[in-house]
Structure 1
């Protein structure tokens, strides 16, 4: 395309899905073209170019798809005719993809990731509205210099703060700890805070290979058998989905402390949806050497640790400083 336009990178998911029967649907089967036709008929006239990256449900998105998406995002952002980037994506892993891109891309152009909880051919679908909202955000000058944004349910979130908090319903996402950046409809857009990202370089280099980091779910009465098995595979790092403020049974803490001494960083996160995991001198400093995830949930802490380990950062102070910075 020779004129200024929005580029959509399509990654499948419910937003491009087709209903089957009951609650079932086929992710990525419809494609994005039909939605764009509907948006045009509704009076939206933004110039748009579409590229397909993946047609899978986001539960099947991983390193291979992330590599392809990152490459196409870089190409789009380096194109002078592209004024903004929209990524359609499934909701199951939207927060992980958004954070990964946020940490490895930097641009003055808007980047918006969008999904849907209901396919476009389902009664009460949010697919068309969410896509229209994302295009409105991507064409707004005030969307620039905010990192990767996520638009769901008439709300604009940062990649760092967004969390999927419900299994069903169109209002399935929330932002913690700072709340949403703004509200958007196909006809209006209101920002709650000013843009504050003025980086000229990405915070992390997108690695050729993401280190293997596992998430360990902590539960009442847990012993060390699962930990011993997991550590025998020599993961590059561990993240715990801990009790309360990242807690775990004493025997589990001791076993994880041995992992730290063996050179495997351990990040304490929480299985609780909201709340900071603060440092505990007895647990995190001299005794066990854990790093606290602070406001990152376990799945985002995993992405953050993978990027840090890929760049060779392993000492506790450097890792903790990265998790303390939540923006």
Structure 2
């Protein structure tokens, strides 16, 4: 059997982090070079040919448009190389779900693209980085990984970009999937898929934009007034995502201010600050009357990514935006 060739795109994160102590809680992300990481991986005896491109050496909280732009270009280049069977992106966990969705919506879902990270730096006791990476290699090498879109591999679990979210600050099993849960389970020696690939024959859902518009997340809180909405409009936000209470609710004065924004052509998406659950239309808030969009299964962070892509593509009609949020 031919050895799989996999392109590794490194962006930093905890998986490449070092704390200088096996027992300390503090660390610096992105301290280990991609080539050094690959040497350690190869020493494990993994049956794959790996080559690396260093995109960035940052914590994922600092990821920005130039990093995303280069990352996307390198993925497209690797996808076009027939000798490469899959792409692995090493990434910090804080914004992995955002990068995963951004790439998932702007890449053809054929060749597997896997984001992988770690909850503990490389020199910490019980570091999970090498195991997660070995799992990602197994997924990237598997022909059944094709046509599933961008995947995130963490803690022996495979998630779809649309579903994955970081649900704990520091737990080793910090990632969950909603509404579908995991797509499969993986270890360095086993791989089990829970269903067939769902995106066979699909094209990229959005063209890669030249830039992303400014979209802000507004977190609702008890007793707040409408001034934060006015402030966001004042700095030129082209869209607003409400991280609302329960099913995307907020004080009436805030909803009224957001309704005025929507009427002025600034799309408003209602999501929830709650960890899990659907935000449906017209439950507690009259979306039809107010001109709002319901985020459905997407949380605030991914709602912002999707709304930015829609606006960058010239899609501003609330009904058309709602269709994109309804799509699995």
Measured against the shorter chain, the TM-score band is over 0.9
Normalised TM-score (structure 1)? 0.96
2:15·2:92 contact (CA, 8 Å) conserved in 1?
A: yes
Q: Measure, in 1, the Cα distance between the counterparts of 2:134 and 2:106.
A: 26
8 Å contact from structure 2 (residues 271, 300) kept in 1: yes
Match of 2:169 among 154, 167, 170: 167
- Inter-partner Cα distance in structure 1 for 2:247 and 2:109: 35
Alignment partner, residue 11 of structure 1? 11
8 Å CA contact 1:223, 1:251 repeated in 2: yes
Corresponding residue SS for 2:290: coil
Which one of 264, 267, 281 corresponds to residue 265 of structure 1?
267
**Partner residue in 2 for 1:149:** 151
- Unmatched segments (≥5 aa) in structure 1: none
- Distance (Å, rounded) in 1 between the aligned partners of 2:193 and 2:283: 39
Residue 129 of structure 2 is aligned to residue 122 of structure 1 = no
Q: By how many angstroms is 1:281 displaced?
A: 6.6
> Deviations for 1:184-206, whole angstroms, at most 9, x for unmatched residues?
00010011111111244200011
Residues 1:70 and 2:72 aligned together:
yes
Question: Residues 18 and 32 of structure 2 are in contact (CA less than 8 Å); yes or no, is this contact kept in structure 1?
Answer: yes
Whether the 8 Å contact between 1:77 and 1:107 is mirrored in structure 2 is: no
Matches within 5 A, 1:84-95: 84-95=86-97
Partner of 1:30: 32
Q: 2:247 touches 2:284 (CA, 8 Å); kept in 1?
A: no
The aligned runs of 1:153-302 (5 Å cut-off) are 153-280=155-282, 283-302=285-304
**Paired positions, count:** 324
Q: 1:133 aligns with which of 125, 132, 135?
A: 135
Gaps of 5+ in 2: none
When residues 272 and 141 of structure 1 are mapped into structure 2, their CA distance, relative to the original with a 3 A threshold, is same
Cα separation, 2, equivalents of 1:108 and 1:58: 26
- Whether the 8 Å contact between 1:6 and 1:84 is mirrored in structure 2 is yes
- Superposition CA RMSD, Å: 1.4
| Residues 100-133 of structure 1: per-residue CA shift (max 9 Å, x gap) | 0000000421111100011111100000000000
Residue in structure 1 matched with residue 99 of structure 2 by the alignment: 97
The normalised TM-score by structure 2 is: 0.96
With 57-66 and 19-28 compared, the bigger mean Cα shift is at 19-28
Name the SS of the counterpart of 2:289 in structure 1.
coil
Report how far residue 4 of structure 1 moved. 5.6
Question: Take 2:31 and 2:287, find their aligned partners in 1: how far apart are those partners?
Answer: 50
> Is the CA contact 1:284–1:291 (under 8 Å) kept in the aligned structure 2?
no
Q: Tell me how far apart the structure 2 counterparts of residues 294 and 73 of structure 1 sit (CA, whole Å).
A: 29
Distance 2:201 2:221 in 1: 40
Match of 1:117, SS state, is coil
SS of equivalent to 1:169: coil
Distance 1:224 1:288 in 2: 16
In the TM superposition, residue 295 of structure 1 has moved relative to its aligned partner by 0.3
Please give the alpha-carbon distance, in whole angstroms, between the structure 1 residues aligned to 2:8 and 2:235. 39
**1:200, 1:179 → 2: CA distance?**
22
